[in-house]
């Protein structure tokens, strides 16, 4: 959202007051939930995993809640509204990413992990260097998307309440950021899980009702909805055909494939998603949890498809682009337009619920990411320095780490909130796909993989993203880029995945070769000692 204030017309004082009450109620209730469910004693398992006490349904809701971030809701619905077919493919890619996690990585992650990504990787290749590298990549992957969500909080509140004062927006970012830090520091895993459950229920419920209202405007005929969107897109049949999102690039089809691959691999491997795998008490539970999570995400993909296409059909593509060039207000525009010209009190209440759900999505998403980063700092960096750190001290370090990570994210969000933040979202997914995905696939399944190969994968994949991303048109050379006044665009793709993903896998393979045959054989034997544990949970299950 670049200039959200005032882009929605027809907000009455009563509607704004209702939204303000909804935001305040959400903040109060969620904070109380964290206080009530937070750990009541110095127990690491309770703070980091909640003792695996969630049922498969509730754990599946929490996984889906972590996976569906505000960036997913707003950005994906925006791409659907502006680019039609390409946006729908992007939405389907997000569901495919969770399916990849379910079928390939979920059970080995649950078996190998304890609290953090560092635990998973060090299970195979013990060593403090692996834990530190895992922590650094966790921060590099999650800090950018945290900044995006925090900046989006101020923009959302300005959008709904109708103010444009920069100081007020900054105050909203700081205040909400402090609330998110409290969630992570006080509630731990169980507290943030309950917020995710509340978020996904409200978000999915309100979105489903809006979808029904949109379809009702077209006599529940999806074909009529899509034809209306095509007419009001101003693009004709091109709106419902592939290639619109990446038109004008050097290799549009290749760019699209690389972007979808980045979403599929990156979304599945981000640390705040994988940490939910460690909370399951058994392999059967994680399979059932993932089944629920995938079903919920697929349903939500249908919701944002209807709302995004509905925004174009009812408001028009030009109006969506005028409100925000990247379409980040399309979800709210489509929700508002679903009610028609005569809006009743009940429909105003539903729209307030939609905006409150987006607000809650912002809160919950960042809280989960702060928790993942704080856990990694406390457990992988600080606690690994001493042989036996008391639980009380490690939990204190985790809470202080949450404060440090959250404060950094708040500071950065206040600096960049007036620019396009798409490069930051892209950076997170690219690091997930280029560093974390190769490290997990090799670490969990390749016997010869060595510590050197893992370090090369984690560090090299991350550096490849950080070197290539500034050269994309997301950063400069485009009216909607982060720096539209500059042009240092030298990399002819929207994401770095076309180069950085193969580089991450290649660096892991090359680092393993460089380690030498003796080191590879030694670490192969280490892997064989824990292979049954990782792949089947043999030792954990006592079999």
Q: Tell me: the pLDDT tens digits for 311-332?
A: 999 999 999 988 888 888 899 8
pLDDT tens-digit map of 332-347: 888 888 877 666 667 7
CA 165 to each of CA 138, 421, 498: distance values in angstroms, whole numbers, following the listed order? 34, 20, 40
* For residue 1, pLDDT beyond 60: no
State the chain's mean pLDDT as an integer. 85
Question: Please, are residues 261 and 501 in contact by the beta-carbon 8 Å criterion?
Answer: yes
Confidence of residue 300 (pLDDT cuts 50, 70, 90): very high
Closest CA to 3 of 362, 427, 480, 353: 480
The rounded distance, in Å, linking the Cα atoms of 153 and 418 is 12
Share of the chain above pLDDT 70, in %: 92
User: Which one-letter DSSP state was computed for residue 54?
Assistant: S
Q: What per-residue confidence (pLDDT) applies to 232? A: 92
Query: Residues with Cβ < 8 Å from 454, sequence gap 6 or more?
Result: 121, 125, 130, 133, 439, 442, 443, 508, 511
The rounded distance, in Å, linking the Cα atoms of 121 and 124 is 6
The rounded distance, in Å, linking the Cα atoms of 24 and 15 is 14
- DSSP annotation string for 270-292: -HHHHGGGGG-SSHHHHHHHHHH
Q: How far apart are the first and last CA of the chain?
A: 53
Q: pTM for the whole thing?
A: 0.89
Neighbours of 517 (CB within 10 A): 9
Mean pLDDT over residues 153-176, rounded?
A: 77
Report for 36-40, 66-70, 311-315, 536-540: range of highest mean pLDDT: 311-315
* For residue 388, pLDDT beyond 90: no
Q: What per-residue confidence (pLDDT) applies to 15? A: 66
Q: What per-residue confidence (pLDDT) applies to 3? A: 40
Query: Residues with Cβ < 8 Å from 63, sequence gap 6 or more?
Result: 98, 273, 276, 289, 290, 292, 293
Q: Which residue has the tokens 């990585």?
A: 105
The rounded distance, in Å, linking the Cα atoms of 494 and 517 is 39
Q: What per-residue confidence (pLDDT) applies to 465? A: 96
* For residue 22, pLDDT beyond 70: yes
The rounded distance, in Å, linking the Cα atoms of 482 and 419 is 5
Q: What per-residue confidence (pLDDT) applies to 51? A: 58
| Tokens standing for residue 176 | 């909400």
| Superfamily designation of domain 61-536 | Sodium/glucose cotransporter (1.20.1730.10)
Query: Residues with Cβ < 8 Å from 399, sequence gap 6 or more?
Result: 185, 374
Mean pLDDT over residues 38-57, rounded?
A: 75
* For residue 441, pLDDT beyond 90: yes
Q: What per-residue confidence (pLDDT) applies to 301? A: 94
The rounded distance, in Å, linking the Cα atoms of 444 and 123 is 9
Neighbours of 86 (CB within 10 A): 23
Q: Which helix (H) or strand (E) holds 305?
A: helix 283-314
Mean pLDDT over residues 215-240, rounded?
A: 92
**C-alpha atoms less than 13 angstroms from C-alpha of 178 in its C-beta half-sphere:** 5
Greatest C-alpha distance within the chain: 75
Q: Which residue has the higher pLDDT, 51 or 178?
A: 178
CA 299 to each of CA 94, 293, 302, 419: distance values in angstroms, whole numbers, following the listed order? 12, 10, 5, 32
With 0-12 / 13-18 / 19 or more C-beta atoms within 10 angstroms meaning exposed / middle / buried, residue 247 is: exposed
Closest CA to 246 of 375, 84, 128, 363: 84
Closest CA to 117 of 141, 93, 146, 150: 141
∠ CA 95-508-119, rounded to 5°: 65
Total residue length of the chain: 543
pLDDT tens-digit map of 182-192: 888 888 888 88
Q: Which residue has the higher pLDDT, 382 or 465?
A: 465
Mean pLDDT over residues 143-164, rounded?
A: 80
Mean pLDDT over residues 382-395, rounded?
A: 80
pLDDT tens-digit map of 115-145: 889 999 988 888 889 999 999 999 999 999 9
The rounded distance, in Å, linking the Cα atoms of 135 and 377 is 6
Share of the chain above pLDDT 90, in %: 37
Mean pLDDT over residues 25-50, rounded?
A: 78
Q: Which residue has the higher pLDDT, 305 or 47?
A: 305
Q: What per-residue confidence (pLDDT) applies to 328? A: 83
* For residue 14, pLDDT beyond 70: no
Mean pLDDT over residues 478-505, rounded?
A: 89
Mean pLDDT over residues 158-186, rounded?
A: 80
| Tokens standing for residue 437 | 């995905």
* For residue 519, pLDDT beyond 90: no
The string over 144-168, giving b where at least 16 C-beta atoms fall within 10 Å of a residue's C-beta and e elsewhere, is bbbbbbbbbbbbbbbbbbbeeeeee
pLDDT tens-digit map of 448-469: 899 999 999 999 999 999 999 9
Question: Please, are residues 60 and 292 in contact by the beta-carbon 8 Å criterion?
Answer: yes
Closest CA to 327 of 307, 301, 341: 307
* For residue 2, pLDDT beyond 60: no
Q: What per-residue confidence (pLDDT) applies to 248? A: 72
DSSP bridge partners of 483: 476
């Amino acid at each position: 959202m670049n200039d959200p204030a005032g882009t929605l017309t027809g907000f009455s004082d009563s509607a704004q007051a209702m939204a303000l009450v909804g935001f305040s109620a959400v903040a109060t209730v969620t904070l109380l939930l964290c206080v009530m469910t937070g750990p009541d004693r110095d127990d690491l398992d309770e703070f980091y995993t909640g003792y695996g006490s969630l049922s498969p349904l509730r754990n599946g809701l929490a996984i889906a809640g972590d996976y569906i971030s505000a960036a997913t809701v707003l950005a994906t619905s925006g791409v659907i509204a502006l680019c039609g077919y390409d946006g729908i493919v992007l939405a389907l890619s997000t569901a495919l990413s969770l399916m990849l996690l379910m079928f390939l990585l979920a059970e080995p992650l649950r078996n190998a992990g304890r609290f953090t990504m560092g635990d998973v990787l060090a299970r195979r290749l013990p060593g403090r260097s692996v834990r530190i590298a895992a922590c650094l990549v966790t921060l590099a992957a999650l800090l950018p998307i945290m900044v995006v969500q925090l900046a989006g909080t101020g923009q959302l509140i300005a959008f709904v309440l109708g103010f444009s004062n920069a100081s007020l927006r900054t105050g909203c970012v700081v205040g909400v950021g402090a609330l998110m830090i409290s969630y992570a520091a006080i509630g731990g895993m169980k507290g943030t899980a309950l917020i995710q459950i509340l978020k996904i229920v409200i978000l999915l419920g309100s979105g489903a009702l809006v979808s029904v209202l949109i379809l009702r405007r077209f006599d529940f005929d999806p074909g009529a909805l899509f034809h209306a969107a095509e007419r009001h897109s101003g693009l004709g049949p091109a709106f419902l055909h592939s290639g619109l999102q990446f038109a004008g690039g050097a290799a549009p089809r290749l760019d699209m494939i690389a972007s979808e691959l980045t979403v599929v691999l990156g979304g599945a491997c981000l640390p705040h998603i994988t940490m939910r795998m460690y909370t399951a008490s058994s392999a059967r539970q994680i399979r059932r949890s993932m089944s629920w999570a995938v079903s919920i995400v697929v349903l939500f993909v249908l919701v944002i498809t209807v709302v995004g296409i509905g925004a174009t059909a009812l408001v028009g593509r030009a109006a969506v682009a005028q409100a925000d060039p990247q379409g980040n207000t399309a979800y709210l525009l489509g929700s508002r337009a679903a009610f028609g010209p005569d809006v009743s009190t009940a429909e105003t209440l539903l729209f307030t619920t939609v905006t409150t759900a987006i607000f809650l999505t912002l809160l919950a998403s960042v809280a989960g990411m702060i928790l993942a980063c704080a856990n990694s700092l406390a457990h992988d960096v600080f606690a690994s320095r001493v042989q036996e750190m008391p639980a009380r001290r490690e939990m204190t370090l985790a809470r202080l780490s949450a404060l440090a990570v959250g404060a950094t994210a708040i500071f950065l969000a206040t600096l960049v909130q007036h620019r396009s933040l798409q490069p930051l979202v892209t950076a997170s997914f690219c690091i997930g796909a280029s560093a974390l995905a190769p490290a997990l696939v090799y670490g969990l399944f390749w016997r010869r993989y060595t510590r050197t190969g893992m370090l090369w994968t984690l560090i090299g994949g991350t550096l490849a993203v950080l070197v290539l991303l500034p050269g994309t048109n997301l950063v400069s050379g485009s009216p909607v880029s982060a720096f539209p006044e500059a042009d240092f665009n030298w990399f002819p793709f929207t994401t770095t995945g076309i180069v950085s993903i193969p580089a991450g896998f290649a660096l892991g393979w090359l680092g393993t070769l460089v380690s030498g045959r003796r080191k590879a054989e030694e670490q192969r034997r280490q892997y064989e000692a824990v292979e049954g544990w990782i792949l089947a949970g043999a030792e954990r299950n006592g079999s």
